[in-house]
Structure formats: C-alpha cells, structure tokens
Amino acid sequence: MEPDALPRHLRLDGAVNCRDLGGYRTEGGGQTRWRRILRADGLSRLSAADLEQFAALGLRTVIDLRTADEVALGRFPVEALEVDFHHLALLASIHDPEDFVAVPGLLAQSYLDMVDQSPQQLVRVLEVLSDEAATPAIIHCTAGKDRTGVACALLLSILGCDRRTIVEDYTLSAAAMGALRARLLERFPEASERILAAEQMFAAEASAIEGLLEYLERNFGSPLNFALASGLDRVTVDALRAHLVTPAG
C-alpha cells in the first residue's frame, strides 16, 4: 500500500535541494507515488552517507539536465553507485551571473527558451521515466530549480497535477537557495561579487513557472499538448500515469 505521506525533503551532505515528487493530488483523486521521482541540485559531491541513502532507496536512474561543460566539472558518481545515467542538456550554455543583474526577467525567459530550444530533450526525459524499471529516478541540474523545475512542471502536469500544485512544488526551492549560494561562494570565491549581486539567479518566484505554464497553454493548449506536438506518444503518457500515480480508492 502506498504511504499517505513521507518526508518530502531528503537531507544530503552533498546537495541542498533534493526532494520527492510524491504525494501530490492528481485529477480524478489520484496521488503521485512516493519515492519514485526525486528532483535535486548538483550531485557531484555526494558523501558516502548520501550514496548509502540513495542505495537504500533503490535509485536506478539519474537524469542530468546540465550543459556538457557543467558535466565535465563533475557528475553523479556512477562508479560508486551503479545507475543508468542520462545526460539531456536543456540549454547549450548557461548565463553568467552578471546577465541576471543586467537583464530583468531573464530567469523567466530562460524557461521559455528551454521548451523552444530543447523540446526533444524534454520528451526524452518523459520517455525515460515512463519505464517503471527506470525508477526510482532523480532529475537534477545545478540549482535543482530552473532546468529541473521546467522538466518537473511538465511531468507533474502530464500526471494530472493542477497549476497550483505545480507552482507550489516549484517555489519550495526558494528555501534552499541561501545554502546553494553559500556553497557556490565557497567553491568559486573569485566570482563572489557577481554571485552576491545576482539576486534573480537565486529567485524561485511563482510568476516564473506560472509564465511557463501560461506560455504552453497559450501556444499549445496545455503542457501535454506541447509534449505531444514535440514527439511524445500517448502510449508513453499512459505508461507514466500507470506507474507514477496511485489511482483514487
């Protein structure tokens, strides 16, 4: 029997924004399944205790949404814990912190850029997750907020979660941004001035993800229609819902 509730946030030594997508209500009274899909920030500095926690969960798949340059600096330690690793970059390059200072609204615009520039990668994320044998799985980027937020918003919408649920899940990242900024300052002291000035880069305001959802609804009718227009098939949609949602009753 599926649990009604589990801790949403996973405490890790090497990451600050790891949480579960389980326990969200879906249309028809269902609920997303716990401990099937996790979302997180960078996973290249996990401790032995972190890896033990993932092993205990039975983690099978890691989906890394970062750029090739970011992956080259460090990735999930597949040599320490055997998983299927998928690199599916949603952006060709990342913005410099100074860009977020100079260009108001850049963060929200980058979400639209992801769906415009990388629809096939987003579809591939969904295809990987549609295989029950691939779960438990974790989706991550650097902050666990932006690229991960776009992918998870699309997934949750296809699973039948309403806009309010999707927005609330996105904004949970705000609580982790102080710790993330501190880690970036420690790792990149030469960029401290730019990191401290880039307030927008560490924001997780509802309006950003609402803007993405409105864009997909305006241009495609719904996030599901966007995915279908980008190559997702109905069989995959049914497979996602079959094993990631516990039906009502």
The stretch 210-216 carries a mean pLDDT of: 98
Under 8 Å between Cβ of 44 and 75? yes
| pLDDT at 141 exceeding the cut of 90 | yes
Taking CA 170 as the corner, what is the angle to CA 169 and CA 173, rounded to the nearest 5 degrees?
100
SS3 5: coil
Rounded to an integer, the average pLDDT of 79-100 is 91
Q: What is the mean pLDDT of the chain?
A: 94
Dist. CA 115–CA 126, nearest whole Å: 14
- pLDDT above 90 as % of the chain: 81
Domain tally for the chain?
A: 1
pLDDT at 97: 79
CA 242 to chain centre: 21
* Residue 39 pLDDT: 98
Contact in structure between 19 and 34 (CB atoms under 8 Å): no
In a domain, 97, yes or no: yes
Contact (Cβ atoms closer than 8 angstroms) between residue 148 and residue 15: no
- Give residues with Cβ within 8 angstroms of 47, minimum separation 6: 12, 13, 14
Give domain status of residue 11, yes or no.
no
pLDDT tens per residue, range 104-118:
889 999 999 999 999
CA distance 93 to 245: 34
Q: Which of 39, 17, 29 is nearest to 155 (CA)?
A: 39
The 10s digit of each residue's pLDDT in 159-200 is 999 999 999 999 999 999 999 888 888 888 887 888 887 787
Give residue 79's domain range: 19-242
Helix (H, G, I), strand (E, B) or coil at 64: strand
Q: Is the peptide bond before 136 cis (omega within 30 degrees of 0)?
A: yes
Q: For 81-95, what is the mean pLDDT?
A: 95
Judge whether 159 lies within some domain. Answer: yes
What pLDDT, on a 0 to 100 scale, did the predictor assign at position 11? Answer: 96
Going by pLDDT thresholds of 50, 70 and 90, the confidence category of residue 96 is confident
Does 247 or 95 have the greater pLDDT score? 247
Q: In angstroms, rounded to a whole number, what is the distance separating the alpha carbons of residues 39 and 152?
A: 8
Task: Tell me the pLDDT tens digit for each residue of 8-39.
Answer: 999 999 999 999 999 999 998 999 999 999 99
5 is a domain residue? no
Report the pLDDT value the prediction gives residue 102, as an integer from 0 to 100.
73
Is residue 140 within 8 Å of 41, Cβ to Cβ? yes
pTM of the model: 0.95
CATH code of the domain covering residue 133: 3.90.190.10
98 within a domain of the structure (yes/no): yes
